Structure 1
Amino acid sequence: MKAPSNPWAGRFREGMSDRLVRFNTSLPIETRLFEADVRASMAHVSMLSATGLLTAEEGAALERGLGAIREDWLAGRIELDPELEDIHMNLEMLLTERLGEVGKKVHTARSRNDQQAAAQRIFFKESTLQLAERVKLLERTLLEHCKQHGNLVMPSYTHLQRAEFTSYAHWASTYVVMLDRDRTRLLDCVRRADECPLGGCASTGSSLGIDRWKTATQLGFRRPTMHSIDSVSDRDYLVEFTGHAALLMVHLSRFAEEIIVFTSQEFGFLRLADAYCTGSSIMPQKKNPDVLELVRGKAATAMGDAMSLLALVKNLTLGYNKDVQEDKTSWFSALDACMSSVDIMSDIVRTMEPVAHRMREATRSGHILATEYANYLVRRGLPFREAHHVVGELVRKAEDRGVDVSELDVSELRAAYPHFADDVRELTIEGVIRGKNSAGSCGAEAMARLYDELETLLQSPTQTRGDRTKELNT
C-alpha cells in the first residue's frame, strides 16, 4: 500500500484544500534542517534496533536507506516535494519509496513534534558554534590589527567631542572585548540547548521501551531533555539566540558607525580598501562605505527578529502549537545577518589602514591636555575639584584668545595657580599615554597585559561534539 501524503489521512474524509496546503507548509523555510533530520532519524533507528523495537534486518535496512538519502542530499541529488507538508514527510516518503513497507517503521515511538525539535537543536548547536568560530576569527583579526598599529595616538571621545587621548590600538581593542562577550554568550546558549528532545513524542513521552540516553549520546547531546512536554514546546534557546544575535549586531553596528565616521573627510583617521567600498552613479569622486551601512541596517533586522520571537511565544499554551513553525523565520534571519556581517567585518578590519598623521594632528587641539593639567595640580596637593575649576578657567581664557590651552605660556598658568612650574611642559601626549598603566588603560604595559588576557580567551575552544559535514550558512 502506498504511503499517504499526510499522516492523518485515515481520520479525514477529504484532503486539504490547495490553499491550505500552500498556507500550511513549512518546507520553504526549513529545508536547511533536512540533513539534521536525517541524522536524527538514523540515531532514532539505531536506538529502536538496540531496544528490540525493530528487528536487526529492519534496522539495518532503514539505516542504509537513511544513509543513502543523506549522501544524495549532500550531493544535491534530492529535490523535496512541495506538495508534502514539511521535511519530515518528505523524508518518510523518500524512505518508503526506496524501502517499501519497512520505511513506514521509521516513525515508531516519535512524533513530528519531537522530530522537528531534534532537527532544530542539532542544526542550532552546529550553526551557533560556527557563528562563535567566526566571531573568534573577527576577534583574532582585530587583535592582530591592534598589535600591528599599537604605537599610533589618537583622540578619545565622549559625546563625540574630543575628550582625552589614547592609542589607536586601545580604541580598536575595545571591540575585541565586546565581541568576546558576544562569543561567550553564544557558547552559553549552546550549553543550555545541548539536550536531545527525541523521545518526548507528541508531548507526554512513549509507552514503548525506548532509550532516550542512547539517542542523545549518539547525536552528541549532553543528555536527553528533562521533561517531555518541555521537549516539544521549548523555544527558549532560540529566544536566547536571537537576543544574543541582536546584541552582537548592535556591537558590529557601533563598530561600523565609528569606522564610517573615522573614514569621512572630516576625520580621515582610516582608509578603506577599494574592494570594500562602492561609488556613485553621478558623482565620480565618491568612495562610499555602503558595506558598513548595510551592517547597521542588518542590526535593525536582527533586533526585530528578537522581538518577533518573543511575541511568537508569549502566550502559547504548553505542548506543540503550530505558531512555532514561524520560529525559523526569525531564527534564520538573525543567524544569516550575523554570519554575513561578522565575515564582512573581518574583511574590513584586515584591509583597512589607519592614517597616523591625521589622528596625531587631531590631538593637537580641543584642549585635550586639560585633564592632565588638572592631574598635574592634584600631584601637588590640590583637591581635584579645585584643580578642575582652575584648569576650566584656563580653557576659557585660551578659547577667548582662539588658542589651545596647551599653547598658554607657563607664566599664564602660574598666574592661575602658583603650583604650575616649568616642568608642566614635560606633559606630552606620548608621555601621558605611557604612564597610564592601571588595569585596562592605554599604556604600553597595560596593553601588553590586555593582549595576554585576550590571547588566553581566544585559545578557549568553541567546538563540541557533533557532525559538521554540511556547510550551514545556506
Structure 2
Amino acid sequence: MAKMWAGRFSKTTDKTVDDFNSSLPFDNRLYREDITGSTAHAKMLGKQGIIPQDEADRIVKELGVILKEIEEGKIAFSDDAEDIHMFVEQILTERIGDAGKRLHTSRSRNDQVALDMRLYVKKEIRNIHALILDMMQELNKSAAEHTETVMPGYTHLQRAQPVTFGHYMMAYANMLKRDVKRLENTYELMDEMPLGSGALAGTTYPIDRDYVREQLGFAAVTENSLDGVSDRDYCIELCSDLSILMMHLSRLSEEIILWCSWEFKFIELDDAFSTGSSIMPQKKNPDVCELIRGKTGRVYGALMTCLTFLKGLPLAYNKDMQEDKEAVFDAIDTVKMCLKVLKPMFETMTVLPENMKRAASRGFINATDCADYLTKKGVPFRDAYHITGQLVGECVKKEKGLGDLTLEEFKAHSEIFGEDVYHAIDLSTCVKERKSFGGPAPEEVERQIGVIGRFIEAHRAFES
C-alpha cells in the first residue's frame, strides 16, 4: 500500500525500514483517542467552513462506525499501516473516498500524536488514581482493626520502639496520599490541548482550537505551537510519579516478605496469593510481593528512557519521540497490574497479633520509655539514658527483659525507681502514652484514619 506521504519519493521504503519505523504494533492501543480526536477535528473543520459540512458529517459518522468495529473485533490492525493515525485514515478513505482525504486538513501527525498521548495519559492517570485510593481504603480498614495491635517498630532493621500495626499501615497510607496528589498535579499541568499546533508552526486555516478543546474536555489550549508538538514533560512526570509510587509499593512488599517469613511470622498470606516450590514441599512463597519489588525497576527504566530520548532533541518534533509510547505504556500497565494484585492479596492476609506482641516483648524496645520515666522524675535525660543503658546491659547478661527485673535491681542503678516503673515500661502503656500528633497511640491512629478516610472521599471526584 502506498504511503500517504509518498509523493516526494521515487522509491518504495525498504522492508527493514518499514518494520523499524512502524509504531502500529504498540500505538494501536491509541485507536480510541485517535478517533476521538479526529472526530472533534472533523466537526471543527465543518463548523469553520474549512471543508463542506456534509463531508464533515460523513467523516464523523464513519469514524464512529470504525471505532465500533475495532472494539467488536471486526477490524484487525494491519501491518501495512505505519501507525495508528495512518491506519484509521486509510480505512476512512477506503470507505468514503475523497471526503476521508480531507480529514487531515490543517493538521499534522505531530500535533495529532501529541493529542492522542495526552488523551490517553489523562485517562490512565484517572484509572491509576482510582486504584491507589482503593489500596488506601484497604490500608485504612486494616489500620482500624489494629489500633491496639502492638508490634516492634524498627530502625536499621533492629527493634527500636513499640508501635501498632495500625500505625504502620497509616504510614503507607500517607505515602500513597502523596502519590495521589502527585498524579493530580501532573494531570493539571498537562491538561492542555495541542491540536492546532500543526507540524510546528500552526496553520493558515481559520481553525477554532477552543471549540476542539471544549469537545475533548481539556482545561486550556497549548500556548506555543513549537512547544505543543514537542512537549513530553507529562510523560516524564507521569513516569516519575509512577516510579515513586512503585518505590512505595516495593517497600510495602519488602515488609510483607519479611513479615511472612518464619523469622518474623507477623502475617500469613492466603494460599490463593502464594506459590510453592518445585522441590521443597513445605514452601509458601510471597511471589506477588517479590514481583512487585522486581517490577519497580521496569518503571524506573521507563523514566530513564523518557529523560534520555528527550535530553538532546532540538525543537520541534523528532522521531525519537516515538520512544515515549512503549515506555509510558509499560509503566502504566505495570503499575496497574501491581495495584490490582496487591489489594486482594493484602485484603486476604491474616495478621498474627500474638507473634507481633511476642517480638515486641524482646529487644528492649521499651528502653526509651524507661529513660523517659526517670527524666519525668527530674533526672537529666542523658543521665537517664546512661542508667537505662546499664540496665539493658545487665538484662542481656541475665537473659531478662526490663520488665523482668526486680525493683531492687532497678534501685541498684537509681533510687528514683519505684513500683510505678513497671506500668511505665509496659508495652501497652508505651504505645498508649505516645499521644503526640502523628504518634501510635490508638486515639491518634484513629484520627489519622479519619484524615485518610476524608481524603479518599474528597478525591474520588477526580476520577469522574
The equivalent of 1:435 in structure 2 is 433
Secondary structure, aligned partner of 1:319: coil
CA drift of 1:445 comes to 1.6
CA distance in 2, matches of 1:131, 1:10: 43
Matched, 1:78 2:75: yes
The equivalent of 1:88 in structure 2 is 85
Deviation track 1:230-256 (CA, whole Å, cap 9, x = no partner) reads: 111000000011111111111101000
Unaligned runs of 5+ in 1: 467-474
Question: Structure 1 residues 317-326 or 138-147, which shifts more?
Answer: 138-147
TM-score by length of 1: 0.96
Matched, 1:229 2:216: no
Matched, 1:300 2:297: yes
List structure 1 runs of 4+ shifted beyond 6 angstroms.
none
CA drift of 1:465 comes to 8.5
CA drift of 1:421 comes to 1.0
CA distance in 2, matches of 1:461, 1:405: 46
Matched, 1:291 2:291: no
The equivalent of 1:185 in structure 2 is 182
The equivalent of 2:372 in structure 1 is 375
CA drift of 1:405 comes to 2.5
The equivalent of 2:132 in structure 1 is 135
Q: What percentage of aligned pairs have identical amino acids?
A: 38
Equivalences for residues 45-444 of structure 1 within 5 A: 45-427=42-424, 428-444=426-442
Q: 2:190 is aligned with what amino acid?
A: A
CA drift of 1:410 comes to 1.5
8 Å CA contact retained: 2:144, 2:446: no
CA drift of 1:462 comes to 4.7
Question: Structure 1 residues 276-285 or 382-391, which shifts more?
Answer: 382-391
8 Å CA contact retained: 1:152, 1:356: yes
8 Å CA contact retained: 2:253, 2:289: yes
Question: Structure 1 residues 308-317 or 70-79, which shifts more?
Answer: 70-79
Q: CA RMSD in A?
A: 1.2
8 Å CA contact retained: 1:155, 1:362: yes
Secondary structure, aligned partner of 1:221: coil
Secondary structure, aligned partner of 2:160: strand
Unaligned runs of 5+ in 2: none
Question: Structure 1 residues 325-334 or 5-14, which shifts more?
Answer: 5-14
Alignment: residue pair count:
463
TM-score by length of 2: 0.98
The equivalent of 2:444 in structure 1 is 446
The equivalent of 1:472 in structure 2 is none
CA distance in 2, matches of 1:461, 1:73: 33
CA distance in 2, matches of 1:116, 1:464: 25
The equivalent of 1:470 in structure 2 is none
Deviation track 1:387-415 (CA, whole Å, cap 9, x = no partner) reads: 11111111111112222222221112122
CA drift of 1:464 comes to 5.3
Q: 2:236 is aligned with what amino acid?
A: V
Secondary structure, aligned partner of 1:106: coil
CA drift of 1:460 comes to 2.0
8 Å CA contact retained: 2:259, 2:265: yes
8 Å CA contact retained: 1:142, 1:173: yes
